């Protein structure tokens, strides 16, 4: 885990090609048009330390810099414990505990992950808004990525949008999954217009889920699941559709006496860091309640 006390931040790029405009240069660095306009309006883009017009032609050896401004965080801080698995100037990554909502809603104004991160930012002097890169349901545990700036959020979100992030989950399902591995390629949509429940439907959006069997028990299986798309409830819907609902999933299956939530844990993500583009692998240890469930299944 890396910690940085200094929240003042500048993104620096070296120019290696003559005759390209400032705007085109940053577009090639995957800075979106919307974010470029925001930076440009605030005069937070410089060439060799000076603000330049967007059509300014760069020379080889020029240094283009982006200044990341401090921001006001309006989420009430609460000292909620966070299991931090990685941190740098751009990202905060935590192993989210189950039973906590990620961000405040009408029904959950306090005791959210956002409140805990706000407290952590305050103690570290990080004056930035909280920007979640991925989302997890209230009762899903595992890897949660938080961007510390609009730059980091935009760069990471682009990877998710382009399906360039490898996301894996540990899932305990009902029944013996016969095939050692398989792919579910079935569209997912809402059951009804205002329903939170999703179903496999020809009117839905494409959703692709891969799975491998890790262990089989008497009447249950432990799976390693990879999602190639990011639809709401994708894993829960797909596994239920093939006859292997997640144990403890009350929305798509039934309650369990051995676990108080769906046995679903986001344990692995592989992506590129927003600044250096270095590939990074992140892992979150399995929570105790899923370990306990597996122990029960092994002994039955």
Domain 9-67 and domain 166-267+290-299 have a common topology = no
What phi and psi, each to the nearest 5 degrees, are found at residue 156? -75, -40
**Mean of pLDDT values over 83-109:** 92
- Residues 6+ away with beta carbon under 8 Å from 160: 133, 134, 230
Query: Which tens digits make up the pLDDT trace of 223-264?
Result: 999 999 989 999 999 999 999 999 999 999 999 999 999 999
Give the C-alpha separation, 300 to 298, whole Å.
6
Question: Is a pLDDT exceeding 60 seen at residue 7?
Answer: no
Query: Which tens digits make up the pLDDT trace of 146-170?
Result: 999 999 999 999 999 998 999 999 9
Q: Provide the annotated active-site residues.
A: 137
**Helix/strand/coil for 118:** helix
**CATH architecture classification, 71-162:** 2-Layer Sandwich (3.30)
- Domain range list for the chain: 9-67, 71-162, 166-267+290-299
Do residues 133 and 146 touch, judged by C-beta distance below 8 A? Answer: yes
pLDDT on residue 195: 86
How confident is residue 17, by pLDDT bands cut at 50, 70 and 90?
confident
Q: Look at domain 166-267+290-299 and name its CATH class.
A: alpha beta
Q: Which fold has domain 9-67?
A: 3.10.290
Query: Which tens digits make up the pLDDT trace of 106-137?
Result: 878 899 999 999 999 999 999 999 999 998 99
pLDDT on residue 104: 84
How confident is residue 5, by pLDDT bands cut at 50, 70 and 90?
very low
């Amino acid at each position: 885990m890396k910690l940085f006390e200094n929240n003042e931040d500048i993104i620096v790029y070296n120019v290696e090609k003559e005759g390209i405009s400032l705007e085109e240069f940053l577009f090639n660095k995957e800075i979106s048009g919307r974010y470029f306009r925001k930076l440009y309006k605030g005069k937070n883009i410089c060439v060799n330390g000076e603000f330049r017009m967007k059509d300014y032609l760069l020379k080889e050896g020029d240094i283009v810099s982006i200044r990341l401004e401090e921001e006001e965080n309006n989420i009430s801080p609460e000292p909620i414990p966070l299991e931090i698995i990685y941190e740098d100037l751009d990202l905060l990554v935590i192993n989210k505990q189950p039973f906590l909502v990620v961000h405040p809603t009408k029904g959950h104004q306090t005791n959210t992950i956002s409140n805990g991160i706000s407290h952590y930012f305050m103690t570290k002097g990080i004056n930035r808004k909280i920007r979640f890169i991925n989302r997890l349901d209230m009762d899903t545990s595992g890897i949660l990525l938080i961007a510390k700036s609009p730059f980091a959020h935009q760069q990471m979100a682009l990877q998710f949008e382009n399906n360039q992030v490898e996301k894996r989950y540990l899932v305990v399902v009902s029944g013996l999954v016969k095939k050692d591995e398989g792919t579910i390629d079935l569209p997912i949509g809402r059951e009804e217009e205002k329903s939170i429940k999703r179903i496999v439907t020809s009117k839905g959006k494409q959703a692709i889920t891969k799975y491998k069997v890790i262990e089989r028990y008497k009447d249950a299986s432990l799976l390693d699941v990879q999602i190639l798309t990011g639809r709401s409830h994708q894993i829960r819907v797909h596994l239920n559709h093939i006859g292997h609902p997640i144990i403890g999933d009350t929305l798509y299956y039934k309650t369990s006496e051995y676990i108080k939530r769906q046995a679903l844990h986001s344990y692995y993500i592989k992506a590129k860091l927003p600044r250096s583009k270095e590939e990074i692998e992140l892992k979150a240890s399995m929570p105790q309640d899923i370990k306990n469930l597996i122990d029960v299944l092994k002994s039955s």
